[in-house]
Chain A
Amino acid sequence: MTRYAPVFFLFALFSAPALAADPPKVPPYKAVSTEAEALARIEELGGVVRKAGDAGLEVDFHHTGAAITDDHLQYLLSLKAVAVLRLKETAVTDAGLAHVGKLTGLRRLYLEKTAITDAGLKQLTGLKELEYLNLFGTKVTDAGVAQLKALPKLAQLFVAETPVTAAGIVAFQKAAPGVRVVPDPAQERERAKSALETAKTAVVNAEEALATAEKDAAELAPKAAQLKKELDDSTKLLNDAKKAADELKKKADDATKRFKDGGGDKAKKDADESRQRADDAQKAAQAIQTKTDQLRQQSARAGNAKKRAEDAKLALDAARRSEADARKLLDESR
């Protein structure tokens, strides 16, 4: 028979003004004897324990923040087969890694933005199953990373936003060629090269666009008014021609109908001639259409030449800046 227990818990939450104050204090580490107890303590701290693959557990302290300290990691030692451990942005330090080092089945370890250093890494060298190690945003250096070559199964290592240098990574890659390191200096160089190529092409295109625009501005723009007039005239001509063509077509259709309705040879001749005249008129109209379109294009180019030139100049400046950035990137990655 269940009572409404959960609601009373919330009642307690609301009766205290504690809601307005700081979050409740974090329970300190207390030794446990069973796995079930350890699980309960971990959940109390805000950790999440999940199944990870076939054998093994994932313990996720990702959202607990400063609540998790080195001591709390001892709970992990009471769990069977911790395979994945997430400690990103927790208050864990090198001391805590002493406990982590004892989790011999650990396969993935996340230590982003924690206060660990090279000394802490030394304690991990016993993790024979470790495949993935994430040190993003920590203070490890080339020397610390070098120790990791002792990890036989290491396949992925992340050291972005750390003091680790490109040289250090290269050295490590030589010592442990099976490990994929991010960032990878070789890849970064490729990327920089390709970015430079792209930027160079962009500069060339921008220069071309500028040249065309300036040419138009110099040659066509002065003729803008004249071109417009020519366009208007041509348009008028075109409308007349279209009208004429339509009328002739109608005449041709009528003639054809008359023929079909039982006219004789004369009707046929009329129809054919009408048809011919209509087609000619159509062709003439087409030609005027083409010319009008050309004039329209030119008139447009004349009209917006000045603006296009300005835009193209801006684009060229931007492209040149991109090229400079790309060059810098490439130099940095050497």
Chain B
Amino acid sequence: MPSTPRIVVALALALLTAPAVRADDPLLERDVLPVLTKQCLGCHGGLRQKGGLDLRTVPAMLKGGESGPAVKARDAAASEMWKRIESDEMPPNDKKLTAAEKAAIKGWIAAGMPTVAQRQKDADPLLATGKKHDPKEVAATIDTHLDKVLNVAKLKPAGRSEDAEFLRRVYLDLTGRVPTAEQAAGFLDSKDADKRAKLIDALLATPQYGEQFGRTWRDWICPPELPSDANGGKQPHTEAQNLGKWLGTRFAAGDPWDAIARDVLTAEGDIKSKPQVIFFALSGEGGKATPAGSARATASLFMGVQFQCAECHDDPYRAWSQKEHWALAAFFAKTTGDFGKVSESRGGGRPEITIPKSAFKNAGNNVPAAFLGEKSPAVKGDALRPAFAEWLTAKDNPYFARAFANRLWFYFFSRGIVNPVDDFRELNPPSHPGLMKLLANEFADSGFDVKHLVRCICNSEAYQRTSRVAAGADEQAVAAMTANFGRMPLRVMTADVLLDSLKLAYGDPKLDLRAIDPKDGNANGESAPVAEPYLEFLRRFGTNEDDATDFTHGIPQMLAMINHPRLLAGSNLLDAKLKAKPAPGADEVVEFLYLSTLSRRPTAAEKAAADRYLKKAPDPTKGYNGVLWMLVNRTEYLLVR
């Protein structure tokens, strides 16, 4: 591979040319910044600069405050910051720095204040830019890059997943439900060497692919309990679900991401013809669109930028200023929206916004609209949102492509290349800068083709690695390897995916696991604690959005799985199977049940255990119902290997 020598050389150069920097020197972002964030930035950050001192970036530290520069490269003894920390004069409260923390800071100054960002500045983009590549080539490049990094870090990546593992994982990730027994058997029994790639293509062509991605984005856009108020105010659950469905049809059709983004951001009109208009009210306040809310949501979802702190004051910990936040919000200053429609007021005047009273600081100041990182745009007063959307979705926009690519990577690997997934900034560098550039470029060069990017990622060995862990493995080593994408994480099924998988396993599209009977009358209207089956399931089985490896279900969820009568009452598919001619034997039925839930065949031990159980059952159907119950209560069922 032509790229291979380049990455090795780049790393070697980084090692050799950095003056007297050893491999285990403290680095700013990794070792020093966490300490500063916890102990110092509250008073010496974006919110307050006591003594005129800002410690968020190296240039700021060198500039210093009232007592002069805070640090002197390679000379801790002469660095004011070190002197005060060493003597415990700072921080001026009870929570002093520990010996280890002080050592990190001292070591860092002594090493010349190296930063990860410096090291990553010249990261190799790995493939020629300006054109779309074959997915297999991109996939191979991803793998080579990741393997190199793992090698340097002396971590051995996990092996390839078995077919059964991969089958279930890719069905769940790409279509949001487990495969049927037939689909599972078909894949497992196929001898086609290229079956994995073909399966990925086949799944991308299904409408369920769109549904799954549509509802994933729906959940990223709006929290499950929607901000609706006013006496008797209706919650727009249906409209929010429709937004998900609309996104789903766009994804399924293969529409490019820039077109979708433009359609969302420039939408005007009635929700009946344009489901996406609800985006503004959902990210607003009290059911109404607000410029700050629209800015915050747009920044997080489409640009990978966290703006929530900068609404009221300069972000204490990140370098965003309040002015930048409001300059972005100014693009939405003329937008009015609620849960039914969105409109834009026309009329000239400079495109600017007045900071409202609700902000902590600078209320009343006028801020002109400006693209993030640039001065004011040349925009006529009328077409604010279209001008913004055009800038955002331009091929060379620094935020758009990489924000989506990172989110997509986060979706598959439960961990972005930049974390948190919407927190791109200089002091939060990507763990794999080359990979980030590769994916962002590929996405932009393919015309923001989502399916293409999915293919590139899913065809990589990295995505197809097993999530198994060797017995007795060191926890920290496993975590480091997973964090470097040397192993797939073990993830928890989201509520949507779990519900669809259960519906499939039971052959019951109306599967209802609500805790109460609607006839009891507790289910009336929006003042009722329990409403419709879908919503109630989402509430009960919701998962940790930030970390898919975090199992958060507790006793109520487990009790529902163990004792809800519906889960023991059998499945239509099972009944149909039992009625087939010739009548299937116990082995065949058990295999059918395993395939429709765990997407694999039972082992010999599992077959024996099932036999023992079935012998005790009063009649065959009851026995099989019990086996099905057992399968959906298996840890392997709820988790995604």
Give residues in A with beta carbon < 8 Å to B.
1-4
Interface string of B450-492 (1 = CB under 8 A from A): 0000000000000000000000101110000000000000000
The reply to whether A1 and B472 contact each other, CB–CB distance below 8 Å, is no
B7 to chain A, nearest CB (A): 31
Interface of A: prevailing SS: loop
The reply to whether B476 and A3 contact each other, CB–CB distance below 8 Å, is no
The A/B interface has a contact count, at CB < 8 Å, of: 10
The chain B residue with its CB closest to the CB of A2 is B475
Question: Can you list 10 residue pairs at the A/B interface with Cβ under 8 Å?
Answer: A1-B474, A1-B475, A1-B476, A2-B474, A2-B475, A2-B476, A3-B472, A3-B474, A3-B475, A4-B475
B407 to chain A, nearest CB (A): 31
A3 CA / B470 CA spacing, docked (Å): 11
A3 CA / B475 CA spacing, docked (Å): 6
A80 to chain B, nearest CB (A): 28
Question: Top 3 nearest A-B pairs by Cβ distance?
Answer: A2-B475, A1-B474, A3-B472
A250 CA / B474 CA spacing, docked (Å): 92
A1 to chain B, nearest CB (A): 5
Among B394-411, those with CB < 8 Å from A are none
B425 to chain A, nearest CB (A): 33
Residues of B within 8 A of A2 (CB): 474-476
Interface size class of B (residues with CB under 8 A): under 10
Known: A3-B472, A3-B475, A4-B475. 7 other contacts (CB 8 A): A1-B474, A1-B475, A1-B476, A2-B474, A2-B475, A2-B476, A3-B474
Residues of B within 8 A of A4 (CB): 475
The chain B residue with its CB closest to the CB of A14 is B635
B22 to chain A, nearest CB (A): 24
Residues of B within 8 A of A3 (CB): 472, 474-475
Among B141-171, those with CB < 8 Å from A are none
A3 CA / B477 CA spacing, docked (Å): 11
A185 CA / B472 CA spacing, docked (Å): 67
B15 to chain A, nearest CB (A): 27
A3 CA / B474 CA spacing, docked (Å): 6
Among B266-300, those with CB < 8 Å from A are none
Residues of B within 8 A of A1 (CB): 474-476
The chain B residue with its CB closest to the CB of A8 is B471
Residues of A within 8 A of B472 (CB): 3
A113 CA / B576 CA spacing, docked (Å): 56
B117 to chain A, nearest CB (A): 31
A1 CA / B472 CA spacing, docked (Å): 11
A2 CA / B476 CA spacing, docked (Å): 8
A4 CA / B472 CA spacing, docked (Å): 7
Residues of A within 8 A of B474 (CB): 1-3
A4 CA / B476 CA spacing, docked (Å): 11
A243 CA / B6 CA spacing, docked (Å): 95
A246 CA / B476 CA spacing, docked (Å): 87
B635 to chain A, nearest CB (A): 10
The chain B residue with its CB closest to the CB of A4 is B475
B357 to chain A, nearest CB (A): 44
Interface string of B472-515 (1 = CB under 8 A from A): 10111000000000000000000000000000000000000000
A2 CA / B474 CA spacing, docked (Å): 6
A166 CA / B472 CA spacing, docked (Å): 67
A180 CA / B474 CA spacing, docked (Å): 60
Residues of A within 8 A of B476 (CB): 1-2
A1 CA / B474 CA spacing, docked (Å): 6
B155 to chain A, nearest CB (A): 15
A320 CA / B472 CA spacing, docked (Å): 76
The chain A residue with its CB closest to the CB of B477 is A1
Residues of A within 8 A of B475 (CB): 1-4
A4 CA / B474 CA spacing, docked (Å): 8
A3 CA / B472 CA spacing, docked (Å): 6
B561 to chain A, nearest CB (A): 16
A82 CA / B476 CA spacing, docked (Å): 41
The chain A residue with its CB closest to the CB of B478 is A4
B478 to chain A, nearest CB (A): 9
A95 to chain B, nearest CB (A): 37
The chain B residue with its CB closest to the CB of A5 is B475
A310 to chain B, nearest CB (A): 27
A320 CA / B475 CA spacing, docked (Å): 74
The chain A residue with its CB closest to the CB of B469 is A4
B489 to chain A, nearest CB (A): 15
A300 to chain B, nearest CB (A): 30
A149 CA / B472 CA spacing, docked (Å): 63
A2 CA / B472 CA spacing, docked (Å): 9
B633 to chain A, nearest CB (A): 12
A19 to chain B, nearest CB (A): 12
A1 CA / B478 CA spacing, docked (Å): 11
A152 to chain B, nearest CB (A): 41
The chain B residue with its CB closest to the CB of A3 is B472
A4 CA / B469 CA spacing, docked (Å): 11
A82 to chain B, nearest CB (A): 31
A6 to chain B, nearest CB (A): 11
A4 CA / B475 CA spacing, docked (Å): 7
A296 CA / B336 CA spacing, docked (Å): 50
B189 to chain A, nearest CB (A): 32
A83 CA / B232 CA spacing, docked (Å): 52
B286 to chain A, nearest CB (A): 41
A1 CA / B473 CA spacing, docked (Å): 10
A10 to chain B, nearest CB (A): 10
A2 CA / B475 CA spacing, docked (Å): 6
A2 CA / B477 CA spacing, docked (Å): 10
B636 to chain A, nearest CB (A): 13
A80 CA / B476 CA spacing, docked (Å): 39
A281 to chain B, nearest CB (A): 39
B544 to chain A, nearest CB (A): 19
Most buried by B among A1, A2, A4: A4
A181 to chain B, nearest CB (A): 40
Among B190-205, those with CB < 8 Å from A are none
A271 CA / B475 CA spacing, docked (Å): 96
A319 CA / B79 CA spacing, docked (Å): 86
The chain A residue with its CB closest to the CB of B471 is A4
A41 CA / B475 CA spacing, docked (Å): 30
Interface string of B401-426 (1 = CB under 8 A from A): 00000000000000000000000000
